[in-house]
Amino acid sequence: MSEPNIPEAKAVLSYATPDADGLPEFVPEAEALIDAGKRPKALRKLFKKTRDAVRYFAKSMTRRFDQSHLTKTCVSCGAPDPTMVVQLQWTARAPLKNLEIGISDNAAAFPFTTMHSICPTCMHDWTRRLFRYNWLRRAFGYSLFGCLAAWFLVSRLDRTIKVNRPIIPIALISITVFVALGNLLVRWLVQLQYPGFVRKMMNKDVRLTGVPSLFTREQGRLRAVSGWG
């Protein structure tokens, strides 16, 4: 993670004066944990609800990597005066506490975005390496959908199939396992293509979900690159 951009700590921590989002404006203990590279789960002890801990983690990361804190060097190679800015979309998660009840999941999740200065060479190289595996991702995705569809058809047509029945489920199980393992392998290969600063920010509970925007710097202003995202 790049150098922390932490505002000065307040003399007294007050949960009675939250921001507009309902969260405390600044929690020094939480900022120290985030600065140490801790996962969102580590913040649960500072908040009554896991959701608030994850939301605060996302809020802090967005503040640390917003437009006002863009570096003057490329975050990937260190080249001076990078002419591009990339916006990344993330999802932070943390398991619920023992006494918390989840409606549809046993974890709290919250999205957030960060912005990073990057030079055209590094951005082009990253894009080229990612697109290298796009066709594999699509192939395994469609294959997994095909396996699920086949399972559905077999369950519906089970009484009318005249072939040796054990062969069909065994074949489908084998194919599904192969596709699932292949999908995991491709995801691992894709993650290896991420620049070092992205991999450093990622962990078990913080996942990169997309690159929604790319900007160029023109006279100190950001201009969105058309056709991106």
Tokens, residue 84: 């591009």
pLDDT, one tens digit per residue, over 83-134 is 999 999 999 999 988 777 655 567 789 999 999 999 999 999 988 877 766 6
Residue pair 114/88 in contact by the 8 Å Cβ criterion:
yes
How far is 137 from 120, CA to CA, in rounded Å?
A: 25
pLDDT surpassing 60 at residue 9? no
- Provide the phi-psi class of 111: left if phi over 0, else alpha when psi is between -120 and 50, else beta: beta
pLDDT, one tens digit per residue, over 139-175 is 766 666 666 666 666 665 555 555 555 666 666 677 7
pLDDT, one tens digit per residue, over 47-67 is 988 999 999 999 999 999 999
CB contact burial 18-30 (16+ within 10 A = b; e otherwise): eeeeebbebbeeb
Average pLDDT value over all residues in the chain? 79
For residues 69-89, give the mean pLDDT. 94
pLDDT surpassing 50 at residue 31? yes
Percent of the chain topping pLDDT 90: 41
Count other C-beta atoms under 10 Å from residue 215's C-beta: 21
